[in-house]
């Protein structure tokens, strides 16, 4: 009888350890996909900043932004969030208010969003705050790339609706 109790206890401990390992593995995989998404958003935002630097300080038209930077990508994997299961080419959108604008025309006090996770994936997705994926694809929230005053950017989580609005410099 004592051997049976020890066996049952041992099986219980092993089952608990397996359950903890499975949960840890799943959480680690989810976090890895979120980091991949952040890396994608940062890479796309950086490509748009480089495009801007190479084109007289002007961002590409929002309607063709992916096509404008596609040649600088090694492959198309940076265009897709690992959590996006749609067949669309791109999971990220460009802030439509920044399309075709020059850096000098933008007010940077609010650090406007340049690239964001969109709920309308496509070939060249663009839009604004109403187009942000909801609910977020990742546990920590959506990922955004914001402009800074010197033409470089940074990724942030989460962005406010006001950060999509671009106000002309006065």
Q: Is the dihedral of CA 155, 160, 165, 168 positive or negative?
A: negative
Does 155 fall in a domain?
A: yes
Does 62 fall in a domain?
A: yes
Quote the domain boundaries for residue 99. Answer: 2-164
Nearest residue to 150 (alpha-carbon basis) of 78, 65, 53: 53
What rounded mean pLDDT belongs to the chain? 75
What does the pLDDT look like over 126-144, one tens digit per residue?
988 888 887 777 776 666 7
Does 169 fall in a domain?
A: no
Other CB atoms within a 10 A radius of the CB of residue 124 amount to 19
Other CB atoms within a 10 A radius of the CB of residue 104 amount to 8
Query: What's this model's pTM, rounded to 2 decimal places?
Result: 0.74
Does 81 fall in a domain?
A: yes
Does 31 fall in a domain?
A: yes
Does 170 fall in a domain?
A: no
Q: What element of type H or E holds 117?
A: strand 113-122
Other CB atoms within a 10 A radius of the CB of residue 107 amount to 14
Other CB atoms within a 10 A radius of the CB of residue 44 amount to 23
Does 104 fall in a domain?
A: yes
Distance between the two ends of the chain, CA-based, in angstroms? 85
Nearest residue to 154 (alpha-carbon basis) of 51, 83, 49: 49
What does the pLDDT look like over 59-108, one tens digit per residue?
999 999 999 998 888 888 889 999 888 899 999 999 898 899 887 777 55
Number of domains in the chain: 1
User: In this structure, what are the phi and psi dihedrals at residue 144, rounded to the nearest 5 degrees?
Assistant: -135, 155
d(C-alpha 10, C-alpha 95), whole Å: 57
């Amino acid at each position: 009888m004592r051997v049976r109790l020890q066996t049952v206890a041992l099986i219980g401990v092993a089952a608990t350890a397996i359950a903890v390992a499975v949960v840890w593995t799943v959480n680690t995989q989810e976090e890895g996909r979120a980091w991949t998404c952040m890396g994608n958003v940062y890479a796309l935002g950086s490509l748009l900043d480089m495009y801007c630097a190479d084109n007289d300080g002007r961002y590409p038209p929002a309607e063709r932004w992916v096509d404008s930077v596609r040649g600088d990508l090694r492959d198309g994997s940076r265009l897709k969030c690992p959590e996006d299961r749609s067949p669309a080419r791109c999971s990220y959108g460009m802030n439509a208010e920044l399309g075709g604008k020059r850096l000098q025309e933008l007010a940077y006090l609010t650090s406007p969003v340049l690239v964001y996770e969109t709920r309308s994936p496509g070939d060249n997705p663009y839009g604004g705050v109403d187009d942000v994926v909801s609910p977020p694809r990742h546990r920590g929230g959506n990922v955004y790339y914001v402009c800074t005053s010197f033409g470089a950017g940074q990724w942030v989580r989460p962005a406010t609706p006001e950060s999509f609005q671009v106000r002309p410099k006065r």
